[in-house]
Structure 1
């Protein structure tokens, strides 16, 4: 809470505690009751607006959700959870450019330093979520840009680097995709998903022998990887046929 609970009455403390407890337990009706009661007397609590925004989103009332989350961020521009939620709500409304602006402002507001690992992680996931939305909508260059911004914050997040590689390949940039998959494998050689996609990308470039070798390496370490086995069968079958 932005006001840190100063000068709260007993009833206000109770409303906040019960509202949060009901929110976390999924009792939306009771959560809304307590949180709206508290908002009447304490409109400056960012987390109250955040929770009310999430409740509105759950009901599909995206307009109310947007307004509540915007208010939470007006009160506390560094409220990363509220920013991430607002980006998600805007994406659901097809407001991709606005969502990108909100996400970009998050990086400027937070200005994370070396000690802000948690904040950097949250901001990286926010950018990655925006990248996912762009990729789903077919805006691949924007997706690539968002993933790269995420990795600038947390270069060790291999799941985001994997998605960057996939977006690059889908955008017709397989050579760049190869670099991302190999970057993952340099530090995490057991990252089988990256190795499988490395093989797929090699195959797309006409380098079938390299692709087969990568999938065989995966199966040697993890025989249960059906995706690697499927790709292997497909390429070997095409060759024998």
Structure 2
């Protein structure tokens, strides 16, 4: 690498770390154009910039190329998994994530589960800040990163599913809620939220089954009982029940639990 390319790369990294993505992309693109041998970290940074702008297919291509250069590049693998998830390619997202975990298990310096939980909590706190500011795509991105670290944290998946549902992506919401239930079969908020999602999809029978499952775990759950009674008394043309504030809080739950 010549001196000019080194200078461009340094400037690109500096602006990238400051999240000045317009400037970072300007320099990183020049690095990729000047060098015959591509750099995995430059491609990964470029992919993150594409993803931040909603250019998911371009992000996917960048992350995949980074992994071709360095198959053990865990960060690029996790970023690719997030991108596949954004594109609705859930099976591929899971495959890439599990492969990254398998590589990490054989690598020195892997993160302790407690540390992963702490980092996941930080991502969730940032996600809540984005949600409060009305920046839903950013909130969802932070939650997806947290879930990649801690895929068995059911409350993370419920929070992400509720954001998907608000955005109208009911298939993605259902996927996250089913994964939450697989991870924690007795996590009542996941059953309640799944019922709401299924009813919104026009599947009243399965919605009632989900709320019944919630009541089997927690017979005194007011939200599940309310939805089940409403569904039983509703006609097929009735709109799905809207979450009131208390039910929404019950579904979203509290702080992430690390068990």
- Shorter-chain TM-score: what band? 0.5 to 0.7
Q: What is the CA distance between 1:66 and its match in structure 2?
A: 0.5
1:30 paired with 2:53, answer no
- Structure 2 CA distance for aligned equivalents of residues 166 and 112 of structure 1: 35
Please give the per-residue CA displacement for 1:101-128, whole angstroms capped at 9, x wherever unaligned.
Answer: 1112212222246852269838984154
Q: What is the CA distance between 1:95 and its match in structure 2?
A: 1.4
- Structure 2 CA distance for aligned equivalents of residues 11 and 114 of structure 1: 35
1:126 paired with 2:148, answer yes
- Structure 1 CA distance for aligned equivalents of residues 60 and 77 of structure 2: 10
State whether residues 12 and 38 of structure 1, in contact with CA within 8 Å, keep that contact through their aligned partners in structure 2. Answer: yes
Give RMSD over aligned pairs: 4.1
- Structure 1 CA distance for aligned equivalents of residues 41 and 108 of structure 2: 26
Residues 69-148 of structure 1: pairs in structure 2 closer than 5 A: 69-112=63-106, 115-117=109-111, 121=116, 125-126=147-148, 128=150, 132=157, 136=164, 137-139=173-175, 140-145=177-182, 147=183
- Structure 1 CA distance for aligned equivalents of residues 112 and 45 of structure 2: 21
Please give the per-residue CA displacement for 1:199-224, whole angstroms capped at 9, x wherever unaligned.
Answer: xx46229xxxxxxxxxxxxxxxxxxx
Moved more, 129-138 or 106-115: 129-138
State whether residues 103 and 127 of structure 1, in contact with CA within 8 Å, keep that contact through their aligned partners in structure 2. Answer: no
Please give the per-residue CA displacement for 1:150-173, whole angstroms capped at 9, x wherever unaligned.
Answer: xxxxxxxxxxx99x6643675655
Higher Cα radius of gyration: 1
Where do 5+ consecutive residues of structure 1 fail to align? 1-7, 149-160, 179-200, 206-225, 232-241
Q: TM-score, normalised by structure 1?
A: 0.54
State whether residues 96 and 134 of structure 1, in contact with CA within 8 Å, keep that contact through their aligned partners in structure 2. Answer: no
- Structure 1 CA distance for aligned equivalents of residues 215 and 104 of structure 2: 34
Q: TM-score, normalised by structure 2?
A: 0.51
Q: What is the CA distance between 1:19 and its match in structure 2?
A: 0.4
Q: What is the CA distance between 1:59 and its match in structure 2?
A: 2.0
Q: What is the CA distance between 1:17 and its match in structure 2?
A: 1.0
Query: Taking CA–CA contacts closer than 8 Å with sequence separation of 6 or more, which of the two structures ends up with the larger relative contact order?
Result: 2
Look up the match of 1:21: 14
How many matched pairs? 168
Please give the per-residue CA displacement for 1:17-58, whole angstroms capped at 9, x wherever unaligned.
Answer: 100111122322221121112123054321100110011112
